[in-house]
A and B are shown apart, each in its own frame.
Chain A
Amino acid sequence: MTVGLATTLRNARADQIKTAVDAGGAAGLFRVYDGTRPATGGTATTLLAELTMSYPSAASASGGVLTFSAITADASANATGTATWGRLVTSASAFVEDFSVGTSGADFNLNTVSITSGVQVSCTSATSTEGNA
């Protein structure tokens, strides 16, 4: 049977992600990769771009959704490829979360998933939604 959690609990769980991203004491990092997404925390594929979160990274979660604040673009992509997944780490590079990327309807939405080396990569919206609604 599916578990259904009170919204306050889902918010509290989502807020833990924000706390973890901000734990480095400075802006966390949002790294974008190509290829098949590994198991959570697994060895990363090719790094395409690295964007910089706000600090703090988000306001408190609402409705079980953590909406991240503005994310600073990477002025020059590291490599050419198709963005498929991303990884959030602290400012010190401690692992926090893996997630899907896209241009709409994904956890983290980019201006494009067709990334070209040396071209700017920006994030148009980013959320983390708690399950068990």
Chain B
Amino acid sequence: MKFFKRMFSGVTEQAPVVTPAAVEAPVVATIYHGPPGTRIYHEYFVGEPRHDGKFPWNCRVYAPDGTITEIPGVADTRQAADDAAGEWAASTKATIRGAA
């Protein structure tokens, strides 16, 4: 008991003062996509599997001049459809950028 009293008596460690972080107003983050009227973008759709189990897909690429290029396709799996649409979109965008 004396040991504990010796250990702890007179030792007053103060708990660190925790200052609450200031609550900031929500910041509206932004992303800049480039100058107006210059965007090239795409969207694609994957349908339900057909009777043969393959997945139909179609993909559109929108060019800044308003031209829309669209292509359909069929893939063995959903993932393959995603990949095929993405690859076609990337190559079509590259062509449009090259021609611009």
Partner-B contacts on A (CB < 8 A): 31, 41, 43-44, 46-47, 50, 52, 70, 72-79, 87, 89, 92-95, 117-118, 120, 122
Contacts and interface: CB of A to CB of B under 8 A. Distances in A.
A41 B45 CA distance: 8
Contact of A47 (B35, B39, B45, B85): B39
Given A76-B35, A79-B37, A93 B30 contact: no
Contacts of A75: 30-33
Contacts of A92: 44, 82, 86
A120 B46 CA distance: 32
A7 to B, nearest CB: 28
Interface of B: 26, 28-39, 41-46, 60, 62, 66, 68, 70, 82, 85-86, 89
The A interface is mostly helix, strand or loop, or mixed, namely loop
Nearest to B64: A78
Contacts of B62: 44, 47
A56 B89 CA distance: 25
